[in-house]
Amino acid sequence: MICTLLSLFSLFLRKICDHEERTFLLIKPDAVQRGLVGQIIKKFEQKGFKLIGMKFMLASKELVKNHYSYLSNEPFFPGLLKYMSSGPVVPMVWEGPNVVKNARIIIGITNPEDCIPGTIRGDFSIQTGPNLIHGADGVEEANKEMYLWFTQKELISWKPAITTWVYE
């Protein structure tokens, strides 16, 4: 009896935790310049994910260097720094079940040439460099990245009235 109750409780906790997964997304300068911010945000809103943090800002080379530190030995790194700090960007945090994986599917893979239609990169971009949006690659990366761009206070916990119509 106790075991059943404990396993039910852990299932309940896992369900709650799943729903609270968060990801970090960054609309890049090319998307801002091309007026695609609204269309990109719409994809995640329509899917049913919840926006909990957003800014419109210029990113310093230092911040971009930190964000993309795992690519620092790549030959394209200097160009990436220049591109990412060349104009305004829109960092965002979204919440929902499996949002990290799902957001990457909505975005499409790194090279737009190989992206399927319907994905952001597949529909709106051509080359690997200016590919419109970044999405964290895992839960751990998402947590690290969101606190590079946001403080805890800038992330808003709220419950949309429609949530129970989107997922249980």
Catalytic residue set = 134
Half-sphere exposure of 11 (CA within 13 A, CB side): 6
Measured at CB, which residue is nearest to ligand ADP?
110
Contact letters for ligand ADP, residues 4-43 (x by CB under 6 A): ----------------------------------------
Specify the stretch interacting with ligand ADP by CB under 6 A; choose among 43-51, 53-61, 87-95, 126-134: 126-134
Q: Which of residues 123, 137, 141, 154 is near ligand ADP by CB under 6 A?
A: 137
Q: Which is nearer to ligand ADP, 19 or 104 (CB)?
A: 104
Footprint on this chain of ligand ADP (rule: CB under 6 A): 71, 76, 80, 110, 128-129, 131, 134, 137
Which residue positions form the known binding site for ATP?
A: 28, 76, 104, 110, 121, 131
